Amino acid sequence: MKLSLLLTIVATTAIATAKDLAVLGGTVYTMAGAPITDGVVLVRDGKIAAVGKQGTVPIPDNAEQLTAAVVMPGIIDARTTVGLSGILNSPHDQEQLETSSPMQPELRAIDAYNGRDPLVKWLREFGITTVNTGHAPGALISGQTMILKTNTEEITADSVIRPYAMLAGSLGADAMGDGGPGTRAKAVAMLRADLLKAQDYVKKLEEGKADTEKKPDRDLRKEAFAAVLQKKVPLAITVHRHQDIAAALRLAEEFDFNLILDGASEAHLMLDTIKAAGVSVLVHPTMQRAGGEAENMTMTMARQLHDAGIPFAFQSGYESYVPKVHVVLFEAAMAATYGLPKEDALAGITVNAAKLLGISERAGSLEAGKDADLALYDGDPLEFTSHCVGVVIDGNIVSREKR
């Protein structure tokens, strides 16, 4: 064997071995089975290589080791505006809502995201490794969301998990801003009209595959809606009142798209209807004020959805005046306080959130082959007195802060 080739093999092996990381936990919540007491997660080349009890998973001699009382999958925030809404809560770092028109489905989160905003780092240090972020409630159609890791600073189409993850809209008072519809019926009619146009656009796209002369010109607005009708992305509609939930369900049935109910403060009034429709719910943040459209919200929402068998995940949501306290880990903790079983609360920010977002092949549980995203705590993650003491994203230690 040539010396140069031998040196290349040796160097490559050394690099791979140097990336080995062993994360040891007094309790390891894999979210793919029962918690493991005295467990270990072996990480190699950014992926999880093995998970098991300490002593059953061989740890390379030169592997770096992290130890914590509790180890769990990196937390997933299923709906936020971080990176578009900044930590200063000032006009210059608030990019989450464009008010020049009530419907702007063509707006892309990827074009506005600031991965270097301190709020991103703040959330990451609590163990939040993946976010579905983008345009906020407050318009009939406010724009698109995207899914990415919280260690992503340079934004390109390749650096995010899903550049277009959801189309975000609102019904009810949030949809009736300046220049928007004045009534609920008008809001739904406007949305229906654009969905009908998108249906025709999709039909022409199909016809254009066989006859290029029939292919329509590009239309960014129609393209965004077409992705919903083609079930490439769901339409996430922020609703609170029961009549707005019913309207959203009717639209989903009429146009056969995947609907996600966002907020849904009065979902507890129509659990059977929601379950029959087969839709998922992004539970309203507990920090949300129980007033206005959300006056009938309940802290037991997650438990009621769980008991009814309705899929759900937690979100930090958006309220401009308190950006730093919106940490999705706290949402899960509050849900557990109000009756949701502990492991189901953890599932709502890990495996179930990954399923709802369609990224469970990569994230949400500690299993061999998945992305090595982990959160480490010095106690029960759902206890207020516990701290996040380490965060790993794609196999890299991105935080050792005690938060």
Task: Give the tens place of pLDDT for each residue, 158-173.
Answer: 789 999 999 999 999 9
Residue 368 in any domain: the answer is no
Can you give the pLDDT at residue 155?
Answer: 87
Domain, as residue range, for 42: 3-72+389-399
Q: Quick one: 242 and 199 in the same domain? A: yes
In this structure, the answer to whether residues 308 and 356 fall within a common structural domain is: yes
Residue 100 shares a structural domain with residue 235 = yes
Is 377 part of a structural domain of the chain? Answer: no
Q: What is the pLDDT of residues 225-239, one digit of tens each?
A: 999 999 999 999 999
Q: Which residue has the higher pLDDT, 255 or 92?
A: 255
Instruction: Give this prediction's pTM.
Output: 0.93
Q: Check whether 136 has a pLDDT greater than 70.
A: yes
Q: Is 35 helix (H, G, I), strand (E, B) or coil?
A: coil
Q: What is the CATH number of the domain that holds 50?
A: 2.30.40.10
In this prediction, residue 381 carries a pLDDT of: 98
Q: Could you tell me the pLDDT band of residue 322, with boundaries at 50, 70 and 90?
A: low
Both 7 and 25 in a single domain?
A: yes
pLDDT at 91 over 50: yes
256 and 342: one domain?
yes
Same domain, 25 and 83: no
Do 127 and 12 sit in the same domain of this protein? no
Q: Are residues 144 and 32 in the same domain?
A: no
Two tokens, residue 122: 């703040």
Tens of pLDDT, residues 266-305: 999 999 999 999 999 999 988 788 888 999 999 999 999 9
Looking at residue 156, what is its pLDDT? Answer: 80
**In this structure, which long-range contacts are made by residues 184-191, counting pairs with CB atoms below 8 Å and at least 24 apart in sequence?**
184/243, 184/244, 184/247, 187/140, 188/247, 188/251, 190/102, 190/103, 190/140, 191/103, 191/140, 191/141, 191/251
Instruction: Kindly state whether residue 242 falls inside one of the protein's structural domains.
Output: yes
Q: Which two tokens stand for residue 109?
A: 């989160």
Has residue 374 been placed in a domain? no
Q: State how many domains the chain has.
A: 2
Kindly tell me if the per-residue pLDDT of 400 is higher than 80.
yes
**3-class DSSP state for residue 14?**
helix
Nearest alpha carbon to residue 396 among 4, 44, 2: 44
Distance CA 294, CA 301 (A): 12
Residue for token pair 């029939």: 214
Residues 322 and 338 in one domain: yes
What would the pLDDT profile of 33-50 be if each residue is shown by its tens digit? 999 999 999 999 999 999
Looking at the structure, tell me whether residues 157 and 268 fall in a common domain: yes
- pLDDT reported for residue 325: 67
Tokens coding 268: 């507890």
Task: Write out the two tokens for 296.
Answer: 């009938």
CA distance 168 to 145: 7
Same-domain status, 27 and 119: no
Q: Are 64 and 198 members of one domain?
A: no
